[in-house]
């Protein structure tokens, strides 16, 4: 009921008028302020006006953060799918069967053994990708820290590509989480939204009284 009254335009105008009349009677009629005192009144009405418009600023930030959260969630999902595809590719590529030709390279056995070891690691890494959760995207930081390194450059290139994809995903996930936090309504915004009509009405009334008071002071 009170919130409906405060947000009613006519009630806002009525409150502003009442505040003006009260301030005029007190600071112009009963206790006239001097010129220097009217100058200091700027600090009061400006501060009150800023507090009155602050809820709109906070609401704008929440709306903007909500859009950013949705965008970064989509980016994170795309990066997660790409990283998972890379892991699946590695699990297949590293597990391919090597066939010795008539003229194998000198390091054939070494490379074959390296790929066999990488095969087990790649399958384990692929199992470390949980199903995508829209509400709570998985944290892949621990998986990044467990990525192996190999003596074979080609295997290290595959792991480097997977690490880069996971790092991109983690970067987007953290941005999304931060945007989600900023998009949540704050108690300060709720309180100031409730008081905003009163604060703005008081600031406008004080500003009008200040003009009248300064005019009267100059005439004296």
pLDDT digits (tens, 9 = 90+) for 139-168: 999 999 989 888 788 888 999 999 999 999
Asked, for residue 12, whether it belongs to a domain, the answer is yes
How many Cα neighbours within 13 Å face the side chain of 18? 7
Q: What pLDDT shows up at residue 99?
A: 53
3-class SS of residue 21: helix
Give pLDDT tens digits for 171-184: 999 999 999 999 99
Q: 14 in a domain, yes or no?
A: yes
Number of C-alpha atoms within 13 angstroms, CB side, residue 68?
19
Number of domains in the chain: 1
pLDDT for 1 beyond 70: no
At 75 the pLDDT is: 96
Let me know if residue 102 belongs to a domain: no
- The answer to whether the CB of 55 falls within 8 A of the CB of 196 is yes
Domain that holds residue 42: 2-97+107-219
- 112: its two tokens: 């074959």
* Token pair in block for residue 212: 């009248």
Determine the pLDDT at residue 109. Answer: 60
Answer yes or no: are the C-beta atoms of 206 and 14 closer than 8 Å: no
Residue 163 burial (CB < 10 Å; 0-12/13-18/19+)?
middle
- pLDDT band of 192, cuts 50, 70, 90: confident
Q: Is residue 178 part of a domain?
A: yes
Angle, helices 187-219/35-93, rounded to nearest 10 degrees: 150
Whole-number Å distance between alpha carbons of 101 and 114: 18
Does 36 map to a domain?
A: yes
| Helix (H/G/I), strand (E/B), else coil: 218 | helix
* Residue 155, in any domain of the structure: yes
């Amino acid at each position: 009921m009170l919130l409906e009254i405060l947000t009613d335009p006519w009630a806002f105008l009525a409150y502003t008028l009442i505040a003006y009349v009260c301030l005029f009677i007190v600071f112009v009629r009963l206790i006239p302020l001097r010129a220097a005192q009217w100058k200091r009144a700027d600090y009061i009405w400006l501060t009150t006006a800023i507090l009155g418009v602050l809820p709109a600023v906070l609401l704008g930030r929440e709306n903007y953060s909500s859009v950013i959260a949705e965008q970064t969630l989509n980016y994170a999902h795309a990066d997660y799918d790409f990283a998972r595809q890379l892991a699946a590719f590695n699990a297949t590529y590293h597990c391919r069967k090597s066939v010795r030709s008539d003229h194998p390279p000198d390091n054939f056995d070494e490379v074959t053994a390296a790929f066999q070891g990488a095969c087990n690691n790649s399958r384990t890494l692929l199992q470390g990708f949980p199903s995508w959760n829209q509400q709570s995207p998985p944290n892949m930081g621990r998986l990044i820290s467990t990525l192996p390194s190999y003596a074979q450059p080609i295997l290290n290139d595959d792991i480097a590509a997977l690490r880069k994809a996971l790092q991109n995903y983690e970067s987007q996930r953290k941005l999304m989480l931060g945007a989600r936090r900023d998009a949540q309504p704050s108690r300060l915004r709720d309180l100031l939204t409730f008081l905003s009509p009163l604060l703005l009405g008081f600031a406008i009334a004080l500003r009008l009284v200040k003009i009248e008071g300064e005019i009267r002071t100059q005439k004296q």
